[in-house]
Structure 1
């Protein structure tokens, strides 16, 4: 997709695969609409020409023609509407697919910029608005202009003078539609931003419902939700009210035009300049034109919503994804499997989350990272996986700058358990496999190494279906299954980010022993707040507010790093550090 393309052009490009079907549907719609336009003209001809002849055969003939036109109009419009619904459905499906794919390939920095709730709203509410717009544009957006222009054209042939009276109000109607729809796009964009905030609030409350109840914050959250909900309502009311102004304004101008037509028509009939059948047909066409104008108004309302949503969708589709590889030297820098060289990084250009971090760890070694909450432990893991790129410094894997390694190749070498990882609403085996094609024997063995013996007690064992997010398991059970998922992939580098916080000391010790035994060649990165979880590591990093306070083995840090020594004494007992 061309960067900077107009949003509607981007959306309409998804109609190209259905171009032939759409052309056929629009042709049917055109013919059906023409049949509708012929009915009043035929009626006028019958009243003014056929009826005076007093021929029942001709009246029946033209009545049959009117019936045939009505049937063709109904059948044509139904067929065209069904085709329009299918085309809009298929286009929306393609938009959702590409949008989801694009979101999956956005960098973490880009996701932070858009925010997850906003991306969810764009994938759901905005695609729905675009679907409605595409559907209505094909159904009403084609029919209404044909009825409007065709009605005006036919009335010109019937009675030019009366048509000029009607045409005098159309420019005023066009101005109303233009200004209202132009204002509506901005209002609907603001409303969608409010919907983003609403989705974010609901997402937070649903995810944290247990802690909300535990801390008796239900009323407070109801108040917070009420404020966000009212903001959505206010902006929706402002947008809807603005768009609703078009209907009474159009009705007023059309009513004025109709009044003028009736007055002028009465004088012309009285003067013998116009036939009664012509006036009757003209009023029928006036009704058709009125309906067409109101339909066009509805189209512009939906257009305003769809255009605002299309712009939000295009923002995501036009975002340039992170390149697979970046220009970086790929020189051999020694045997270290993983090394950081003066790495500094900040989220959003603010204060550094980590600053001037340097270390190296080799194959089969364990790196322990310990520090208080917010010290930058998880940030280091994110940088290893290239979820973010350092502001300064270099991260190397087997001597290669990770910026020069394709993302798929890089991440395939990692096994990861994140601090806030989750399980899916699938079976135990599927959660461990995670669509990687892992053999069942390997998955069961990984569960054993992760001390997930409880699986045997579940109904169905590894075929047991889990609830979404694994809410039917305890915290320790979830963590052990997550560790099993990481171990099953036989990773070169295993990252355990606070992966044993819910485990008791005995299970934690067994887990660490199993990892050392069965993943002897892997580099293990253990992120923890408990000294017991990292004290056996070959290298331990002590972090505080993104800065490296100490780096070395457990014994070295006890001698050279007072913060580590104090933490060890606090957790293991006052005499432990002596």
Structure 2
């Protein structure tokens, strides 16, 4: 929580003003019972209507001032909480955006989403409550006790005797409550993950008639969250009835002792009435502090989760290294990598590409093809070996400089709810000519020109109003539009027919001949004319060479080519 409170520093002047106004309003609330007591015991018995009217007007003035100051202070508190949370959410989003893929894998996307939404909401609630009630309640509590001491010290001592029991209660409940809320937020992460999986796979779920199964799975996760929330809420809810019990026992004792003292002439009825009013104020203040305590317990767990992300160390730091003279644009030298740091996902991979050359990568699903792309773009660091671009290790290139070299179509890439033009431009400020050239090469102009709005056609989220082939062509156009140094196509033609795939490859050779291209494919026809072809199996290199060379030297490649294209067929 310490890191979260740092965000309040720019708002200290405004908070100080708001707290001062809140203090004035609280003092006005405390004055009302005292004025009432004075009127009953001193003013009313005198029968002077002028004094009665004067003190009555004083009560009205105090009430109005308390009302106005509290509203003003609450508005200022809401403003501070809103802008503080906005800043926290902005920095948290920026930090999440800068996390390495390894860190995202560690935290999990559902957890990051929950921290950005639920956890920041909990912090927002706490910040507002601390300013609205966190100042008012202690003032009313302490002020009420001090004023009652001036009215009748004996009755005040009866009330104060209940406070140690309340203190023990708050300490005991908080010791159990905070860990429960931490565990609850972890369960919320799991529920978000389940919802994401269900929504993402809704078509498959319906196609396989697994709606009931998914409903039961979600019900189990939801029940787990509900149980943890009930357990935490029940634990924290103990404070309200027990505090009411202690305070009402104290109130009963005050009334009994007060009655004896009035009967003995040791105090006056007005003081007893005022004392009961102050007791109500003190009771409400204690209940308010209980709400603060519950909110703080919940937000404390959320604040720690937010701080964990904000304080996460910078991963994949730039490592200074000298540039080597090299005739190659892209180099892999004995690269080995493992996601879990136990079993190697790719092992001892080496290849070199000159500028403008094309590398095709083929192999079974899960053999490490996409992993090589992740390493080339330094989304992960290799465990051993060397990866270089123009003789410079990728670890020595700043992230922004490195990634601007690439145009990428990932295996499961995304389109956004925006126009076709904006999806291709992707905020890069490209010219209309660049966008049209890329769309033409990607064979996307064929269907874009047939749309009434053309490039202004609005896509739905994830491009669900396009076919699979249309989406892939738009994604290829996006990758080409910035004229990158290195083009990466990760299984980006799987939804294209052979004719369109061939036209795409022809367009790349003619329009973007100077770009170094890496093509991951399941079809031999997509990489048939590549300058180099890398055959992978379980993360290891089985063959490397041209199509003709691999037909002669690599049995696995020859089997794939024969099964897809027929024996002896070249195109």
TM-score by length of 2: 0.99
Tell me the SS of whatever aligns to 1:46: helix
> Is residue 330–residue 404 contact of structure 1 (8 Å, CA) maintained in 2?
no
Deviation by residue 1:432-480 (Cα, 9 ceiling, x = unmatched): 0001111011101110110002011122100111101100000000000
Q: Is 2:125 the counterpart of 1:132?
A: yes
1:477 maps to 470
Whole-Å separation in 1 of the counterparts to 2:136 and 2:384:
60
Whole-Å separation in 2 of the counterparts to 1:217 and 1:470:
25
**Backbone CA RMSD of aligned residues:** 0.9
Whole-Å separation in 2 of the counterparts to 1:248 and 1:51:
39
2:331 maps to 339
Deviation by residue 1:359-379 (Cα, 9 ceiling, x = unmatched): 101111100000011000000
**Which runs of structure 2 are paired with 1:270-281 in the superposition (5 Å)?**
270-281=263-274
Aligned residues between the structures = 569
Tell me the SS of whatever aligns to 1:457: coil
Tell me the SS of whatever aligns to 2:7: helix
**Which runs of structure 2 are paired with 1:50-449 in the superposition (5 Å)?**
50-332=43-325, 334-449=326-441
Tell me the SS of whatever aligns to 1:374: coil
- Where does structure 1 lack aligned partners over 5 or more consecutive residues? 1-7
1:4 maps to none
Whole-Å separation in 1 of the counterparts to 2:167 and 2:383:
54
Deviation at 1:483, TM superposition (A): 0.2
Deviation at 1:329, TM superposition (A): 4.0
Deviation by residue 1:348-399 (Cα, 9 ceiling, x = unmatched): 2131110010110111110000001100000000001000000000101011
Q: Is 2:548 the counterpart of 1:555?
A: yes
Whole-Å separation in 2 of the counterparts to 1:440 and 1:18:
45
Whole-Å separation in 2 of the counterparts to 1:113 and 1:393:
24
Deviation at 1:347, TM superposition (A): 0.5
> Is residue 316–residue 380 contact of structure 2 (8 Å, CA) maintained in 1?
no
Deviation at 1:514, TM superposition (A): 0.3
> Is residue 339–residue 361 contact of structure 1 (8 Å, CA) maintained in 2?
yes
Q: Is 2:509 the counterpart of 1:516?
A: yes
Whole-Å separation in 1 of the counterparts to 2:16 and 2:367:
61
1:5 maps to none
Deviation by residue 1:504-550 (Cα, 9 ceiling, x = unmatched): 00000000010111111111000011111111111101011111111
> Is residue 37–residue 150 contact of structure 1 (8 Å, CA) maintained in 2?
yes
Range 319-328 or range 204-213, more displaced:
319-328
Deviation by residue 1:195-220 (Cα, 9 ceiling, x = unmatched): 00111111111111111111111011
Tell me the SS of whatever aligns to 1:369: strand
**Which runs of structure 2 are paired with 1:502-513 in the superposition (5 Å)?**
502-513=495-506
Deviation by residue 1:171-203 (Cα, 9 ceiling, x = unmatched): 110111122123211111111100001111111
Whole-Å separation in 2 of the counterparts to 1:327 and 1:434:
31
1:544 maps to 537
Deviation by residue 1:479-510 (Cα, 9 ceiling, x = unmatched): 00000001101011000000000000000000
Whole-Å separation in 2 of the counterparts to 1:17 and 1:454:
53
Whole-Å separation in 2 of the counterparts to 1:575 and 1:403:
44
TM-score by length of 1: 0.97
